[in-house]
């Protein structure tokens, strides 16, 4: 028999064997999901009902650390303020992989009929606010909490090491503080041991429970924030000729900023410029001295990022100069774009399809939303995918809204998928 033909036959023979092994692994994981589901949902309900803002996840972190300790892991706490890391060493030699979940909630007052809805209130940036898991981080944390339970029971079968990262302040730290994935990396979360790949998931409003989605390559945009002050000269509202009106200038600035994307950026290059705050004035008949604008810029291409910042300065300078005023611009570059490693994505997409079925895996477009998982994926190859949370017949609000809700049924799905993804990666790369 020719050597090439024999090799082909040998390869084809291994496919059913590999599929059978994958099915046995998934059966084992599914049994453990069922075993731990009630406990994990109880934990999810607790943290949803008791949400904590970024850098303040004290009780959540305490419960996570106690759980990982009880599972026999090496546990590190206090990373980036309230971050927790658990290291699970498998019973066989192999690679090291990391998995991340974010623990923080948002300053949003919940408006759902969930029996475990949040009624928590706190102070945020000097204002009293409601606190809510309005982006699904309670699901992320619960899923990873459950995956830790599952893989701890499979410790002897694991070829390698799994680093469980429970991250604070994904939505950003309070004003004047540092936090999030960037700070965890700077404080050495990947130093010892250093993973060779990192995984994470995020809920997706509107995607049905049981579905998962992924994007190869660029997945989440870079997130920048700008603060501009347009300065004029205060005067009586009935005598505008005696002053310089910053409201008129700032209004022209807001409109002109929209031409950056429509007229300066390539039509096929994704970019967003949004003015989200416009503050000025104390009284109806006084032209104020200044206007404060704040907003966000979302991009994928670093050159486009540079272009937008330059054009913002040109627009602000031109309009205020023509109007007789002046300006200040503080352009703050934030989270970089999250880019899924294409080779890793191709490998793990097979795992997703094997677990939930090809018809339940969606290839989705990149989003202009941001995600600080990017800092982990800049260090090692990363794969970040989406988890369906929408129960048929239910009404679900968008992310960051008071009516956002994730169905409990998404949690065991997330546990099963992530446990398989981690094991598939380690087994495929075992020595």
Catalytic residues: 104, 170
CB proximity list for 370: less than 8 A, separation 6 or greater: 220, 221, 222, 223, 298, 334, 335, 338
SS3 261: helix
79 and 85 in contact (C-beta within 8 Å)? Answer: yes
- E strand or H helix at 252: helix 246-259
Using N-to-C axis directions, what is the helix angle for 137-153 and 410-428, rounded to 10°?
50
Alpha-carbon span 289 to 285, nearest angstrom: 13
End-to-end CA distance of the chain: 30
335 and 375 in contact (C-beta within 8 Å)? Answer: yes
> 356: cis peptide before it, omega within 30°?
no
Residue with tokens 């939303």: 369
**Angle value at C-alpha 264, between 262 and 270, nearest 5 degrees:** 65
Query: In terms of Cα–Cα distance, which of 99, 86, 76 is closest to 380?
Result: 99
What number of other Cβ atoms are within 10 A of residue 7's Cβ? 11
154 and 36 in contact (C-beta within 8 Å)? Answer: no
Alpha-carbon span 87 to 282, nearest angstrom: 56
Q: CA-CA-CA-CA torsion for 154, 155, 158, 163, nearest 10 degrees?
A: 110
């Amino acid at each position: 028999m020719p050597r090439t033909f024999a090799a082909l036959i040998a390869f084809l023979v291994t496919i059913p064997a590999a599929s059978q092994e994958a099915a046995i692994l998934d059966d084992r994981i599914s049994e453990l999901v069922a075993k731990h589901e009630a406990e994990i949902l109880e934990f999810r309900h607790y943290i949803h009902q008791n949400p904590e803002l970024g850098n303040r996840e004290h009780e959540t972190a305490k419960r996570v650390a106690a759980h990982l300790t009880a599972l026999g892991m090496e546990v590190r706490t206090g990373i980036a303020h309230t971050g927790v890391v658990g290291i699970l060493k498998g019973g066989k030699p192999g690679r090291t992989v990391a998995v991340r979940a974010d623990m923080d909630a948002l300053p949003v007052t919940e408006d759902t009929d969930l029996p475990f809805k949040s009624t928590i209130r706190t102070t945020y940036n000097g204002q009293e606010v409601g606190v809510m898991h309005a982006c699904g981080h309670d699901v992320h944390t619960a899923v990873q909490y459950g995956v830790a339970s599952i893989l701890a029971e499979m410790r002897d079968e694991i070829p390698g090491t799994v680093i469980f990262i429970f991250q604070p302040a994904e939505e950003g730290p309070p004003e004047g503080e540092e936090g999030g994935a960037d700070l965890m990396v700077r404080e050495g979360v990947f130093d010892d041991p250093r993973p060779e790949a990192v995984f994470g998931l995020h809920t997706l409003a509107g995607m049905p429970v049981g579905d998962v989605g992924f994007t190869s390559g660029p997945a989440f945009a870079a997130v920048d924030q700008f603060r501009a002050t347009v300065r004029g000269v205060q005067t009586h509202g009935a005598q505008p000729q005696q002053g310089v009106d910053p409201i008129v200038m700032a209004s022209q600035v807001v409109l002109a900023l929209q031409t950056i994307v429509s007229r300066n950026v390539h039509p096929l290059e994704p970019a967003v410029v949004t003015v989200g705050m416009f503050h000025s004035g104390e009284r109806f008949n006084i032209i104020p001295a200044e206007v404060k604008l704040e907003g966000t810029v979302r991009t994928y291409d670093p050159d486009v990022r540079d272009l937008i910042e330059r054009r913002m300065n040109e627009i602000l300078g031109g309009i205020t100069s023509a109007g007789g005023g002046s300006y200040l611009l503080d352009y703050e570059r934030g989270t970089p774009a999250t880019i899924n490693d294409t080779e890793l994505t191709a490998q793990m997409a097979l795992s997703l399809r094997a677990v939930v079925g090809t018809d339940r895996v969606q290839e989705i477009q990149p989003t202009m939303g941001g995600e600080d998982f990017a800092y982990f994926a800049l260090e090692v190859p990363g794969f970040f995918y989406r988890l369906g949370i929408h129960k048929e017949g239910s009404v679900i609000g968008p992310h960051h809204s008071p009516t956002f809700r994730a169905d409990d049924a998404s949690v065991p799905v997330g546990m099963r998928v992530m446990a398989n993804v981690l094991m598939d990666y380690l087994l495929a790369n075992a020595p």
